[in-house]
Amino acid sequence: MRPRIYLTQPIARSAIERLEKVADLTVNNDPLHIVTQDEMLKAARGHDIIFCLLHDKIDADVINANPNLKAIASMTITPADIDTAAATARKLPVTVIPALLLNDATADLAWALLLATVRRVAEGDRVMRGGVFPGSQSSYLEGGTVSRKTLGLIGVGGVGAAMAQRARGFSMRVIYHDPRRLTPDKEHELNATWMPFDEVSRTADFVSVHVQLTPDTRHLIGAKQLAWMKPTAYLINSARGPVVDELALVKALTDKRIAGAGLDVYENEPRPHPELLKMNNVVCTPHMGSAVLELRESMANVVVDNILALLEGRRPPNCWNSEIYN
């Protein structure tokens, strides 16, 4: 009997074709429909493997719904919305994708948010579509500048390093905070200077967040950290939503304690705080940092690589809870 795989949303055709050669595949073909809890439970009961995406929540009820469930194959770097403890208790592998795949695409989007926010690009687009064309030297849409300003990075893994590299093209000063300081050679390569967290926040014209979501980084940016920032500074978050206390951010923006924000991620996705969507000095995108055609195809095929290894009785190359194999 062929294994049964449930795919929670459409992915690249090349990845689907690989799966269809070895398994019976059921797909939710609507890219705008996020599988509900009831649908996920039903899928778990009727399939051997769940192929899920970043926005999917796989809790203990789903994991325990089928004693014959073989694996959770996720197309995410960190399975924050999967109950990995419940999976590990069952010795059920949870597979992920390597972080380095997303470095450039995420940095590109973070840079786009930075530029769009400070130069009021999204606001200008809305004005144009509303039939308003201010004079070409009107002060109506005057914004800030990026060139020769200071970029402050919170976290300098792959994406943070990619941001530092992009900053060179704008002649920016780069400062950063990371609990694990870079080597002197790497600091020289990136032209980046380590500072304490509060000093980065107080000094930077743009504070860009690039940390993984863990219990320690939840609300890493809160009221205190936002108060450190200059009133002319901007916050950019393309990492994970809960890293920023969204209520504190709304208050800081409302009170004009910071100049604006560019956000691709939100604390309670898919529902950002409604006030954020009303603010002209906030640019919002719907968690689309990896939304690059070629990248998404590569990501999907990495998940397929993990699944094929499982079906062949091999240890998957990207297993999050690898301790189950000890």
Active site residue 240: yes
Active site residue 287: yes
The answer to whether the bond into 184 is cis (omega within 30° of 0) is no
> Can you say how many angstroms the Cα of residue 251 is from the centroid of all Cα atoms in its chain?
23
Task: Count Cβ atoms below 10 Å from residue 35 Cβ, excluding itself.
Answer: 23
The single-letter code of the amino acid at 5 is I
Catalytic residue of the set 47, 120, 240, 257: 240
Q: Which of 80, 95, 66 is nearest to 304 (CA)?
A: 95
Residues 6+ apart with CB under 8 A from 109: 238, 264, 285, 288, 289
Edge-to-edge strands of the sheet including 94-95? 24-27, 4-7, 49-52, 71-74, 94-95
* Whether the Cβ atoms of residue 272 and residue 279 lie closer than 8 Å to each other: no
Catalytic residue of the set 187, 269, 275, 297: 269
Q: List residues with catalytic annotation.
A: 240, 269, 287
